[in-house]
Amino acid sequence: MKQPNKNLTYEHKGVGTDYVSDPESTHFEDELVCSKCGALHKNGTWSWEQLPIKIKEGICPACERIQKNQPAGFVTLTGNYLEKNKDHLITFIQSIATSELSEQPLERLMDITRNENAIIITTTGVNLARRIGYALNLAFQGNLTSTSNGEDHIDIVWHRDDQTS
């Protein structure tokens, strides 16, 4: 019986379904390519390398987190410094994410949410969240706090208040 799968945002290729329930596991077989983003798992690490041959397809942990909307990293920016600098801060963060992604396929920005008092960034990996926090602190000073919850969850808060007269 065939069912139309038009609601799915990606297509299962028949392999890789074993991995879906356990994104952090290390039981990825060697030489697996993500059918969604093209990241390659080889020799225990993920890269953007391309193999000239066709290999087994699955889904990488970053695409899986995006699909399930399960971020690993949260970076929250607060303080009155945001009032006039939101756009600048977001551009800054996006450029960090772009450089990280070129090296680390599993470290990606998921969402940037802005509301009146905060900017909230979610990431697929804890390292990108950490890197964004440190970079903000270095470039814009302010206060940085980081709470990590095991290997695969981190909460970063960056806060800067300027004197208002």
Q: Give the footprint of Zn ion on this chain (CB under 5 A).
A: 34, 36-37, 39, 60, 63
- Cβ of residue 36: shortest distance to Zn ion, in angstroms? 4
Cβ atoms of 17 and 56 within 8 Å: the answer is: no
- Judged by beta carbon, residue 36 or residue 130, the one nearer Zn ion is 36
Token pair 């303080």 in the structure block, residue: 79
β pairing state of 73-78 and 118-123: antiparallel
CB of 21 to Zn ion, least distance (A): 16
For the CB of residue 60, give the shortest distance to Zn ion in the complex, in Å: 3
- Of residues 63 and 82, the one with the C-beta less far from Zn ion: 63
**Closest CB to Zn ion among 20 and 139?**
20
Q: Which residues contact 140 (CB under 8 A, 6 or more apart)?
A: 81, 85, 89, 160
Minimum Å gap between C-beta 54 and Zn ion is 17
Nearer to Zn ion, 108 or 160 (CB): 108
Q: How far apart are CA 37 and CA 84, in angstroms?
A: 35
- Tell me how far apart the alpha carbons of residues 83 and 81 are, in angstroms, rounded to a whole number: 6
